[in-house]
Structure 1
Amino acid sequence: MSFSLDTPSVQTLKAEARALREDRARSGHPLSHSAALEAVAHAHGYRDWNTARAALPERISPPFQVGQRVRGTYLSQPYKGMLLGVQVMSDMQHYQLTILFDEPVNVTPNFMFAAHRQRVIGTVDIRGVSPAVRGDGTPQLVVERA
């Protein structure tokens, strides 16, 4: 089962229920904790709290985080490095990553001329594969946890 970043977690729904309960108490119409959980579950399209609880993940963690060690290929050259920057794109399914390679990578197809890169910025999907491809159909950037 997969979840997008806009899928709420159990903690998110519990926090919403707590806020609803506090808001109702301030307005003079107290609500029990279980009734607040049921109301939040209904608001998110679930039949009841138990259905929501069973369907949602405990926590959703992003696949990439600043400081994370990564490895993969950049322009078909293997690398190891660290993520310096992570930005979620507007579609919530892609990330713009800034990677600092441990060792510079030669990005030229032939070795008569060398062009080394040590820091690159690339866009990848939630699996760590770039939607941009090279002429031979391989992804420009592949990122995985080291």
Structure 2
Amino acid sequence: MDTIDEKIIAELTRNARISHAELASRVLLSRNAVRQRVERLERQGHIAGYTVVRPTRDAADDLVCALVLVYRQDRMRGGDVLAALTRIPEVTICEVLSGDFDIMVRLEARSLDRIQDIWEEVAQMPGVRDMVTALALSRVVNRPRGRRRIAG
């Protein structure tokens, strides 16, 4: 990635809907050269997608959250389940547990229908024996990531 690629990414970050012609004039390249660079940046994973941002509300307020506790058929050879869970974008936390449950998964999705689709997908995974699911009704504490203070 060179400085022109970084300028392209900066411009797309400010306005993902900018036309190739406008983007070209801002980074001083031809429209075709900009299109080729954007396509290359997408292929290389520097641009992973475009999204809609609704500025009127906090995006976290629109999410449906669920905790899914997963029982695997074989705890020691259940890596395929973990690998499959990492490929689901709505999985925000996936932890292997001790005790009765094998895996705890936190889902954050735009709709209850999407939570159900993911639930069905996980339930059908080879290696998943059973699941217990709970929907979050409200958020009482939401501490930012980073350094946390542990009492004791």
Normalised to the residue count of structure 1, the TM-score between the two structures is 0.28
**Where is the helix percentage greater, Structure 1 or Structure 2?**
2
Radius of gyration: which is bigger? 1
**Where is the strand percentage greater, Structure 1 or Structure 2?**
1
